[in-house]
Chain A
Amino acid sequence: MELSDEELMARYQAGDTEAFQELYRRYAPRLNGLMRRSLFRKEEAADLVQQTFLHLHRARNDFRTGSKLRPWLFTIALNLKRKHFRTVKRRPTSELGEIDPVGSETAPGTPLERLEDQAAVRAALAELPDGTREVIELHWFEGMPFAEVAKTVGASLSAVKVRAHRGYKRLRESLAARNPGPGAE
């Protein structure tokens, strides 16, 4: 039977490095996705993923039995991401030329079309205010329930739902403006 994240963390606190490796295997691709949605250089994103796990290691004794690991880990990742953008003094961007399409096996369209679609979503996400974008990323992309999103970003449940409502609405409007539809021309 597969161990839960929390059980793995408890084992890591007890010194089991294989548990740490399993946590890395589970979460590194998703954290990489979180970083890559707004950071287009693979190396930058990979470095932030490494930093996230390094901080998980440093703070391992702060993790308490009964807590959930996922919001804990994503809070670290979001803090590092914010810090990164503060340090380099820029916001998430969406330059088409710098990115590679990711995970495109199931999506329709040519690679170029998929790249354009992904760039459009990234650009729409980049236009959102930071707090709203984080809620959308955690809720839509990571599949976190609102309560967990609230815990991760440090806001109330109602505030998170309001941000989600505004965020989805703005994303929809932004994407509609980029893709007027068949009859628009």
Chain B
Amino acid sequence: MNHWRPVTRARGRSSGWGSAVSDPRLNDACDQVQARLEADEALGSLEAHVGDCLACSELVAFLAEAPASADDLRSAPDLDLDPGFAALQAAVGKEAGLLASLRSWPTARRRGLLLCVGLAVLAAVWAIAPWKHLEPARAGLSVVGLGVILLAALWQSLRPIHQPPLPPWAWWSLVGVAVAFPFLLSLLPAAFHGEAPKSGGMCFGFGCLFGFPILLLGFLLNRAPTGAAVGSGLLLALAAGGALGGVTLDAHCGTPGMLHRVLGHGALAATWVGLGLVGLALGVRSSRGPELV
């Protein structure tokens, strides 16, 4: 491949820089270097900066050695614009109705709506069955811990796609804490003043009921199209639903017995998130093909 020669940037396919000379937007020396290379102009006084800047010096060295035709990879003109836009318009046209309108709300408003529904569920449970069974310290831990998980999961479940994604470690940490915290909470010794020990089935069922509005709304407000595989947003909505179910259960139920609390309260978020993870794994397999979101 001895026909390689340095990339020449002035190809009439400007990426928006215009002339590199005296562009007021270029207040960073690195940007000025880039713009001059882009316009195929001499670096002049910027040579000194290139000598000092590792990124710029590597860019200059790279452009001096890269094959000229590599520059052609900057744009792919083989896209049929008119049929492409017609197909896009057809897809946009299908996004009508109440649900599409809700999803097009600004993210702050969608998050606010989700939060209001979560608070409404808590308020309703509080009104029906005021907190009276649990000692204050344990109750505080439940409200603060699960409340923080609930808020974080709600917030991230509607993270818009025009923002860089949450780092994987942060995402998995949030999911892990949402599962582990209710379990640990149910293992903590505390003074309960409720009825005699009984199985946790009823509590588990009520927890699902209390958490369901958040899950449903989180799903409806998610901008992934209907029928899409379980995604990270829906999984976090499941975690939020589990946290909401957990905190409402703790507010309502003072039944003593560790087994009851582990199976009836602590297992709720784990079950929901576990089902979500299974859905995520299955969805990844089933969505090979055109459905990408």
Contacts and interface: CB of A to CB of B under 8 A. Distances in A.
Contacts of A121: 66-67, 70, 73
B167 to A, nearest CB: 9
Contacts of A145: 25-26, 28, 30-31, 34
Interface in B150-167: 160-165
Contacts of B105: 61
A181 interface: yes
Interface string A106-129: 111100011011101110000000
B226 interface: no
Interface in A117-154: 117-118, 120-122, 139-147, 152-154
Nearest to B13: A103
Contact of B160 (A28, A62, A83, A169): A62
Interface string B58-83: 11011001111111111111111100
A113 to B, nearest CB: 5
Given A59-B162, A76-B161, A103 B58 contact: no
Nearest to A64: B106
Instruction: Report whether over half of chain B's contact residues are helix, strand or loop; otherwise say mixed.
Output: loop
B84 A80 contact: no
A24 to B, nearest CB: 5
Interface stretch (B86-94, B134-142, B253-261, B271-279): B86-94
Interface stretch (B1-9, B193-201, B236-244): B1-9
Nearest to A5: B16
A29 B77 contact: yes
Contacts of A139: 34, 59
Contacts of A164: 55, 58-59
A17 B91 CA distance: 14
Interface stretch (B114-122, B174-182, B212-220, B282-290): B282-290
A126 to B, nearest CB: 12
A8 interface: no
Interface string A170-185: 0110011011011000
Given A59-B162, A62-B107, A108 B75 contact: no
B133 interface: no
Contact of A28 (B62, B81, B162, B290): B81
B48 interface: no
Interface of B: 1-5, 11, 13-17, 25-26, 28, 30-31, 34, 38, 53-55, 58-59, 61-62, 65-81, 84-85, 87-89, 91-92, 95, 103-107, 160-165, 223, 284, 287-288, 290, 292-293
Interface of A: 17, 21, 24-25, 28-30, 32-33, 35-37, 42, 45-51, 53-63, 70, 72-73, 75-76, 79-80, 82-84, 86-89, 100-104, 106-109, 113-114, 116-118, 120-122, 139-147, 152-155, 161-162, 164-165, 167-169, 171-172, 175-176, 178-179, 181-182
